[in-house]
Structure 1
Amino acid sequence: MAKSNVCYHDQPMGFFYNNSNITSDEWDQTQLILVQVAGSICCCFILVANAMIIAAVVTNRRFHYPFYYLLANLAASDFLAGIAYVYLMFNTGKISRDLTVQGYFFRQGLLDASLSASLTNLLVIALERYVSIMNWKVHSNLNKRRVTLLIALVWGISIFMGAVPSLGWNCICSLNLCSKLAPIFSRSYLIFWSVSNLVLFLIMVGIYLRIYIYVMRKTVVLKAHTSGSINRKRTPVKLIKTVMTVLGAFVICWTPGLVVLLLDGLKCEQCDVLKFKRWLLLLAVLNSVMNPIIYSYRDEEMWTTIKNLMCCVRNGTRRQRSSKANIQRGSGRETTSSLKENTAEDSKVSTQEMLKS
């Protein structure tokens, strides 16, 4: 057993994989290529789709409200997740053993920061929805300055959470405390990470259950008095359904991974945690793929804006092509006209010479 006062910052990751008794790299060459190809396609979709969501919120004035600003920030966290997955795919397998400690911290920090950003942003959206729905309003009264501060707070917390292991909460100086899923992360950190995220899940589910019960009671009261007012108040219910669908997908995709991390942190000897590692990563990728689909499916205005943006991009490329064609045609016409002018001048000169003779 290694001494607790000896640190191994200069060792490659292969040293820590061996310390955690991880003898196989899990991916053979064929599997790795298939994963990289399929993952690259998914990541391209994640990056493009979430960029379109952000562009839709920026360009459409109907989305210039706190809820949609926070929704765009959630799309930005999924965009970061897409970048993190791309980096992970091309730095996994046998390459993982050749990584430096700093390179491994950076790889895992990107994933942790994107997860923290998504989770924190969902919590902020839940609180924003709670305030607005309890006042029976479509949107809350948050001004742009407060929304900007909330977004900055979300990213500040996320970057800090992603950097915590590299700041000292690791097992580089205590190899007997290392986990299996993350060979330089201490098991106590995995317990903290998984439990805190699961508690946040429960808090958000409780908030939305409270909102749902309130909306159902309010709907019954409005139906008893008049049907007109309830028709005008359907929009907040729509937004609630959209966010609840996003939260449900997030919980389904991330809860199994957090449970496995918790089991690894608790040093469950009977649990083969490495067996589920690749499938949990696939679930995480699917969550970032699903979110932009949910936004566009649940919100007709969002889907219409995205289609208009795609049409603008398509028309822009067509205009560029047509402008190039027009330039080429114009240059051809100018060449032809210059040739005609030169021919006419030559004929005039020859006629004058004939008359002189």
Structure 2
Amino acid sequence: MNTTGSPAEAPEACQQLAASGHSQLIVLHYNHSGRLLGRAEPEDGGLGVLRGLFVAVSSLVVLENLLVLAAIVTRMRSRRWVYYCLVNITLSDLLTGLAYLVNVLMSGPQTFHLAPASWFLREGVLFMSLAASTFSLLFTAGERFATMVRPVAESGNTKRGRVLGFIGLCWLLAALLGLLPLLGWNCVCAFQRCSSLLPLYSKAYILFCVVIFACILATITVLYGAIFRVVRANGQKASRHPVRRKARRLLNTVLMILVAFVVCWGPLFGLLLADIFGSNVWAQEYLRGMDWILALAVLNSAINPLIYSFRSREVCRAVLGFLCCGCLRLGLRGPGDCLARAAEAHSGASTTDSSLRPRDSFRGSRSLSFRMREPLTSISSVRSV
């Protein structure tokens, strides 16, 4: 595309555009980053198959988490601390899907009609939702570790209050992290400090986010690694075959959690680091067309419900009962076993048939001087998280 002049040569004009909140500021930054190379005009951004795929991914994330959230809220009677953790994870993943859907629909030609504040809000809400999702995973891993490896006696109300307080803290930190560029940590008119992938974001801010997310990943890995060792040790001590089988399943779940997180987030970390430490010329040459990597990170929010929710029998019954009841209200009668399962879900939603109940079997093989305060229910298990 034909440029309107080098932005670096007209700082006064750039500052005037920034002060007035004009959308031409977006064009200047995208032009400097090389994101407009190959386009005849900024508006030449069509929908295309790739963006359609991104819309499909975000729609899958939204529908899947909406289903799980509705099932948990309406069908599960338990209000233990893990219930709030599951609701928090599902809600943050639902927001991630919605934010990414809005981001995709407002990208392309619409990008160059946005005011700078709207652009920062579009990207910031997506950063916030991704941060809320990872903070939720970290908090849940910490609670799993505290409950299973380092149990502390406390009343149910105290536990619930502490969990709700930490959930509120997760959302507060996520909102702050996502909105920092809108609040002033950006590179408006300071083009040499700008990212090539996110042309109005400062490389320093992106590095800060990468460090935060990398620390979260490392902490989650350490916590689940500790849980892994405990479960494996107790499984080896168990003399009964069913207990060993449940232990293996718990270990498989822990591995699924770690592998899914690393596979989905690892490429995004690598891409952002390449953007931060590579030159602008190198980034313009090699980092174009990498939007699918962000879609892969968002896809983690579709995998989370499968691991954190559907691996719990209690949540599975809640989802199945929710779906069957919906079909019955519409006058649709499914297979007999579906109706039977729906009835079972309605009558046994609060049962303690748990993916962490193997812990109760392990308890006899552990020489512990302390006493576990709470019975371990299905969604309080490693297998459900």
Tell whether the structures are fold-level matches, with TM greater than 0.5. Answer: yes
| Residue in 1 that maps onto 2:325 | 312
Taking the aligned partners of 2:212 and 2:324, their CA distance within structure 1 comes to 43
> Alpha carbons of 1:177 and 1:227: their partners in 2 closer, same or farther (altered >3 Å)?
same
Unaligned runs of 5+ in 2: 1-7, 333-385
* Partner of residue 260 from structure 1, selected from 249, 259, 271: 271
| Residue in 2 that maps onto 1:277 | 290
Q: How does 1:242-257 map onto structure 2 within 5 Å? A: 242=253, 244-257=255-268
Are 1:43 and 2:58 an aligned pair? yes
> Alpha carbons of 1:270 and 1:39: their partners in 2 closer, same or farther (altered >3 Å)?
closer
**Matched AA of 1:280:** I
> Alpha carbons of 1:102 and 1:216: their partners in 2 closer, same or farther (altered >3 Å)?
same
Q: How does 1:1-357 map onto structure 2 within 5 Å? A: 1=8, 7=15, 8-9=17-18, 10-12=21-23, 13-24=26-37, 32-61=47-76, 63-135=78-150, 143-221=159-237, 223=238, 226-227=239-240, 231=243, 234=246, 242=253, 244-268=255-279, 269-271=281-283, 272-318=285-331
Taking the aligned partners of 1:293 and 1:66, their CA distance within structure 2 comes to 20
Taking the aligned partners of 1:46 and 1:140, their CA distance within structure 2 comes to 36
Instruction: Give how far 1:201 is off.
Output: 0.9
* TM-score normalised by structure 2 residue count: 0.72
| Paired residues of 2:51 and 2:104 also in contact (CA < 8 A) | yes
**Matched AA of 1:270:** W
| Paired residues of 1:82 and 1:288 also in contact (CA < 8 A) | yes
**Matched AA of 2:34:** N
| Residue in 2 that maps onto 1:336 | none
Taking the aligned partners of 1:240 and 1:65, their CA distance within structure 2 comes to 24
> Alpha carbons of 1:243 and 1:212: their partners in 2 closer, same or farther (altered >3 Å)?
closer
Taking the aligned partners of 1:17 and 1:116, their CA distance within structure 2 comes to 25
Instruction: Give how far 1:52 is off.
Output: 2.0
Taking the aligned partners of 1:242 and 1:25, their CA distance within structure 2 comes to 46
The structure that is helix-richer by fraction is 1
**What secondary structure sits across from 1:318 in the alignment?**
coil
Instruction: Give how far 1:116 is off.
Output: 0.5
Taking the aligned partners of 1:109 and 1:53, their CA distance within structure 2 comes to 26
After superposition, the C-alpha distances for 1:70-128 in whole angstroms (9 at most, x for unaligned) are: 12211111111111121112111222222211111111011101110011111111110
| Paired residues of 1:242 and 1:295 also in contact (CA < 8 A) | no
* TM-score normalised by structure 1 residue count: 0.77
Unaligned runs of 5+ in 1: 320-357
Tell me the C-alpha RMSD between the 2 structures: 3.3
> Alpha carbons of 1:140 and 1:47: their partners in 2 closer, same or farther (altered >3 Å)?
farther
Aligned length: 313
> Alpha carbons of 1:2 and 1:158: their partners in 2 closer, same or farther (altered >3 Å)?
farther
**Larger mean Cα displacement after TM superposition, 253-262 or 293-302:** 293-302
